Structure 1
Amino acid sequence: MMNPEVVSFTIPTESNKIVFVWNISAQKPEEEIYCSLLKVFSQFGALYSLKLLPNAGVCDPGYYAVIKYYCCRDASKAQEACDQKTLFQDTPLKVRVCNKQKGFQYKSLSLNSSKCQDLANHYLGFNGWSKKIIALQNISGLDEAEDEGEVQEKTKLRYLCLLEVGLPGHGIRSRGVGVAEEILVKHKDPAELLIKTGNLQKYAVQKALSDAFQKILLVIFENGKVAAEYVSPNDDTVDCLSEEELQGLIQVNDFTWTSYNPEGEEEEILTEFSFHEDTVNIKD
């Protein structure tokens, strides 16, 4: 019997959560193949990513796929159910869970707000969690010490968000902080300022939501039941204060500025893989 598996709101990097699929024929359009893979492999659990890539030039025309699950149990089930099956094409696919030849230590990277919500919806249900903005404030200029006689051509626009995520069925609440910053040229079109203000507010909320989810761990049992645990650093006072105290205690220097990133996506750690007939390994 398999033990419960812990899932955090971070990018999965463990090798036993990565599934490789190859021998994918090129008889169908790439978009159709991608949708077919997504339909098949999402049946086994929540997916972090699915990438469909063309074979190298020395190989026959076709594709291979790299799929990341949040649970190693789901990756194992996918291999067992799909290896040597035709599924959506005439020839059988080859499906393997990754086996590393040597260990790598990766820093855990937080999921962005969109993927945090997708993961929470999958395991907790759309009504199993909630979010509430406690404060969203313009804190531009609070830490700047400019010379009064100096004319500044640029200014910094900053927004801070305090947000709370609640899991009512588990008696958990977790608060997160998000700060977004962008440098603006003064005397620009007012419409540009409105657009950038809206983008920064949105990004600050997204960062706060992701930060709140980092303190939550999901425990997935083999029968499908889910438990949740709250884990927070000892020096985290955000969750200990009342909403009124939080709104009156915005210490700017306690927060790390995050420049606005319109893509809003994490960068994955790319690793070079080699494919073999009976197994899949990572190159040294």
Structure 2
Amino acid sequence: MAEVLEFLVPTGNGRTLLVLGLETNATEHALYLAFSAFGPLYSVRLHRNAAVAGPGYYALVKYYSTRDASRAQLACNRQPLFQKSALKVCLCTRQRPFPQQNLALNSHKCQELANHYLGFNSWSSRIVTLQDISGFEENEEEDSRALLASQRCKYLCIQELTIPQHSICARGVGVAETPVDPSQGFLTATRSAQKLAAQKALSDAFQKIVLVVLENGKVAVEFISPQEDLVDCLADEELKGLLQVTDLSFSQLNPEGEEEILSDFSMDGE
């Protein structure tokens, strides 16, 4: 059977293992080494036992794949692994009483997941445009002192993700805003905003594809971006230097700052 993996924070049943019986010298690094042998991990969290349970720890190990989590549970349950006493490893299958929000993976996690299933040299990315959009909300009546205190650096980035073997090309958009610290200067804020915008754009590009992992280990890639997504339809020449901000309010952006911005831009020079 095939399993579909999205570039989202893993949720739902069957992806998280509860590890009980960890001794006092257990570490997250040791847990990561033991359980990552069965597949890529999203997170490893080590927690101290409650006082009534005695000394030691328990851990939550979260996989992207339910198949990997199931394999790890069967192989590691009642095994000592990296300690003297055996561990108890259970699948967390308890339903949460409230719906979970699908959150995008950050760019680093996206790259880790892509490298595992597709290979380090199987994909590439490039920045199509990186544009300064600072200052369009400034009030001309503000005095120079107030303007300096409230000055922020804002950048828009469009980045292209390419997977040649699967004939996939997807573009993502990222917006970043950082305050200007007078003690560090405008250049530091500019670099920080540019870097963050590029990271968000790459993450947004990965949201437009899914991995289809077959039981034999083979992987297919599917493009899931909506057809009306302009950033994927326009040529580089139509994007570079042609984006102008009209009435974009950064307070309306979601926490990731990448989802609802395309409708607020106008394309000039066509």
TM-score band, normalised by the shorter chain?
A: 0.7 to 0.9
SS in 2 for 1:14: coil
Aligned to 1:76: 70
- Matched residue, 1:57: 51
* Equivalent in 34, 42, 45 of residue 39 of structure 2: 45
Which residue is 1:271 aligned to? none
Shift of 1:217: 0.3
Deviation at 1:258, TM superposition (A): 8.5
Distance 1:69 1:161 in 2: 30
Look up the match of 1:158: 154
Decide whether the 8 Å contact of 1:179 with 1:256 is kept in 2: no
1:201 counterpart residue number: 194
Distance in 2 (CA, whole Å) between partners of 1:256 and 1:4 is 42
Are the aligned partners of 1:176 and 1:212 in contact in 2 as well (CA < 8 Å)? yes
- 2:247 & 2:238 partners in 1: Cα distance? 16
Tell me, yes or no, if structure 1 residue 167 matches structure 2 residue 163: yes
1:102–1:159 distance in 2 versus 1, CA, 3 Å: closer
1:172 corresponds to which letter in structure 2? I
* Larger RCO: 1 or 2 (CA < 8 Å, sep 6+): 1
Matches within 5 A, 1:1-284: 3-26=1-24, 28=25, 30=26, 33-141=27-135, 143-144=136-137, 146-148=139-141, 150-151=143-144, 152-153=146-147, 154-184=150-180, 188-189=182-183, 191-253=184-246, 257=250
Q: Say which is worse superposed, 58-67 or 101-110, in terms of deviation.
A: 101-110
For 2:157 and 2:110, locate their aligned partners in 1 and report how far apart those are by CA, in whole Å: 17
> Contact between 1:46 and 1:70, CA under 8 Å: does it hold in 2?
yes
TM-score scaled by structure 2?
0.86
SS at structure 2 position matched to 1:89: coil
Q: Is the 8 A contact 2:172 2:202 kept in 1?
A: yes
Once the two structures are TM-superposed, the CA of residue 85 in structure 1 deviates from its matched residue by 0.9
**TM-score of the aligned structures, taking structure 1 as reference length:** 0.82
How many residues align? The count is 250
Aligned partners of 1:68, 1:159: CA distance in 2, in Å?
Answer: 34
**1-side partners of 2:217 and 2:226: how far apart?**
29
For the Cα contact (< 8 Å) 1:46–1:69, is it kept in 2?
yes
Deviation at 1:105, TM superposition (A): 1.3
Distance 1:256 1:110 in 2: 22
CA RMSD, Structure 1 to Structure 2 (Å): 2.1
Please say if residues 215 and 231 of structure 1, whose CA atoms lie closer than 8 Å, have aligned partners that are also in contact. yes
Q: Matches of 1:230 and 1:41 in 2, distance apart? A: 30
Task: Measure, in 1, the Cα distance between the counterparts of 2:251 and 2:239.
Answer: 20
Question: Aligned equivalents of 2:35 and 2:78: distance in 1?
Answer: 14
The unaligned stretches of length 5 or more in structure 2 are 257-270
**Aligned amino acid, residue 239 of structure 1:** D
Contact 2:124 2:161 in 1 (8 A): yes
